[in-house]
Structure 1
Amino acid sequence: MTAGVETRPTKAAVPGMWRTQEKDGSGPLVPQLTVVSGAPVAGAPMQAEKGRPFVIRFGKHLRGFFDRLIGGSSLVSNDPVLDMRDFAWTQLLRDHWQAIRDEAIAVALRGDAAPSLATISPDHRAIAEIDKWRSFFIWGYGYRIDDNADRVPVTAGLVERVPGLNSAFFSILAPGTHIPDHRGVTKGLITCHLGLIVPRDGDVRMRVHDRIVRWAEGETLVFDDTYQHEVWNDTGGIRVVLLVQFERPLRNPGKWIADRFLGVVKRSAFVQEARANIGHWNAAVKQLDV
């Protein structure tokens, strides 16, 4: 599922990702992490938009219509922030939050194991601050990231019990990070955050529509990311949450619409590129014994 690791990868296989240790081009190739960490490239926003699935690029003009259909079929609230008691499985995360945090510290926060989200997801290159919003993917759009999941077995086992699991990753915000106002692509998905590391020397918060919310270690926060939202980490420490996206409980016709939308996105080149980027990153850092 992820890219294999070669003893000496070629630049043709992973363009721009590798450099030699010596100025004359000799010596072993090592990862060029300043390249794969999401450094801006001329034309990148346009390329990212062109690479998005048709249903996202052109469907966004009808997004309000489809979101209303999905919202009208929802078996849970359509509020910006939802009641975690409507999702009984969140108790599993709260019960085991310390074990999840320990795995995040031991694996995802070690060296360069977690790339910037802009590196992985074409859809985040316009909003993710370079190297300030990092991610360690366990699942992505219905695909298990075996290389990563096997390194965090407790966390992987727990998220795999989430009904309708779509994505799960450790979301890591550096001190001073501001993630600008943005929104998710479909009301067919709901997002849950489990607080793992929350600095207390300042203010770390998120605005969801007209609500300001804050994380607490060991607590879950469930929200609808199709509402405009933005995040600030105005502290001197990193903020780490386990981010889980899962399918909204629906009846038809909303379920029919959401299932087909997500099916198209999952099979798209857009998502396959993100999977390949994770594989390339993991292959690169393995060369450094991270």
Structure 2
Amino acid sequence: MYAVIIVVVFLISFLYTYYRGKERLKASRQLFDHSTFLAPVNMFMTGFSKLPNQAFFDVAQFPELKPLQDNWQVIREEAIQLQNQIKASEKNNDAGFNTFFKRGWKRFYLKWYQESHPSAQQLCPKTVALLESIPSVKAAMFTELPSGSYLGKHRDPYAGSVRYHLGLVTPNSDDCFIEVDQERYSWRDGEATVFDETYVHWAHNQTDETRIILFCDIERPMKWGWAQKINHWFGRNVMSAASSPNDDQDNTGFINRIFKYGYAVHHYGRGLKERNRRLYYVSKWLLFGIIIGLILLPSFL
């Protein structure tokens, strides 16, 4: 019986995520997407959220973030000084953003659901101090989107946070933008926006200039204190396992320590897809069927 419940929950999770918002991923992609597997958690987060179900929010709803925008030039100066450190993962130890690196996207972590990265404390102490003074900032990084870079449509997996972007070095052009659930925003120096990253979104820099922003995950405000505590606990104890280092002195979370093995399987799968597309899809759906069968098997014994 428990197996049937698991399958029903999975199907409800898939449908909830697939129909969330105006923009959708292909059903076959959404079925295997990480956002589907976290949907039971996300239904709780959005169901008890103080925020409405919409793509973008007024930054004024988050007054605690004002010091970041007030000090954007200080943050910008530190970002420029360490620009060579804003880079892709070199050891396949960043599961959350691995697919972005091949598109040219780069990052330098400042903190990730726990303490700030030691490397960030050394290289950009003023920015780190500002971030540490704001408890609702759960994760932060500098991110770079070079000229011509494109990030395809995707959903972020976790609804316990909302996303904050602060323009630092931008083309100040409508040709450098992010689109969230069919609503478009163009970055500008010193300007900020907040959006729900669990909606389908994508970004494109069609200019000849690079774009650097401060990128933060802000703990989603919940309607009741007990719900806020659950959200905070989940971020602290589960999301922290996805921590990725800038260098050897930074911590690597459990998820990213094992990711290199999953990446090897993924790399083999991509090679199979290029060699024999039909065999790839047969193998993929056969594996999925075996997993479902193993889940259901105890119910028939």
Please give the TM-score of this superposition, normalised by the length of structure 1: 0.67
1:63 aligns with 2:38: yes
- Tell me, yes or no, if the aligned pair for 1:117 and 1:133 is still in contact at 8 Å: no
- Tell me, yes or no, if the aligned pair for 2:113 and 2:236 is still in contact at 8 Å: no
- Any idea what SS the aligned residue of 2:60 has? helix
Match of 1:72 among 31, 42, 47: 47
Which runs of 5 or more residues in structure 2 are unaligned? 1-31, 251-301
Please give the residue correspondences for 1:134-173 in structure 2 after superposition, counting only pairs within 5 Å: 134-173=106-145
1:242 aligns with 2:210: no
- Tell me, yes or no, if the aligned pair for 1:73 and 1:254 is still in contact at 8 Å: yes
Provide the C-alpha distance between the structure 2 equivalents of 1:180 and 1:142, rounded to a whole number of angstroms: 29
- Any idea what SS the aligned residue of 1:245 has? strand
Q: Percent identity?
A: 25
Provide the C-alpha distance between the structure 1 equivalents of 2:173 and 2:140, rounded to a whole number of angstroms: 28
Change (3 A) 1:227 1:254: farther
Match of 1:88 among 63, 80, 91: 63
1:105 aligns with 2:105: no
- Any idea what SS the aligned residue of 1:92 has? helix
Change (3 A) 1:96 1:215: same
Q: In angstroms, what is the RMSD of aligned CA positions?
A: 2.5
Provide the C-alpha distance between the structure 2 equivalents of 1:213 and 1:156, rounded to a whole number of angstroms: 26
- Any idea what SS the aligned residue of 2:73 has? helix
Which runs of 5 or more residues in structure 1 are unaligned? 1-56, 283-290
* Counterpart residue identity of residue 280, structure 1: D
**Structure having the higher Rg:** 2
Number of aligned positions between the proteins: 217
Please give the TM-score of this superposition, normalised by the length of structure 2: 0.65
Paired position in structure 2 for 1:198: 170
Give the deviation of 1:261 after TM superposition: 3.0
Give the deviation of 1:160 after TM superposition: 1.2
1:229 aligns with 2:201: yes
Q: Deviations over 1:58-109 (max 9, x none)?
A: 98545334323211211233321011111002221121111111111112x1
Provide the C-alpha distance between the structure 2 equivalents of 1:241 and 1:69, rounded to a whole number of angstroms: 30
Provide the C-alpha distance between the structure 2 equivalents of 1:73 and 1:79, rounded to a whole number of angstroms: 14
- Tell me, yes or no, if the aligned pair for 2:171 and 2:188 is still in contact at 8 Å: no
1:179 aligns with 2:151: yes
Please give the residue correspondences for 1:250-265 in structure 2 after superposition, counting only pairs within 5 Å: 250=222, 251=224, 254-265=227-238
Paired position in structure 1 for 2:263: none
Match of 1:279 among 227, 232, 247: 247
Paired position in structure 1 for 2:98: 125
* Counterpart residue identity of residue 79, structure 2: A
**Greater helix percent: which structure?**
2
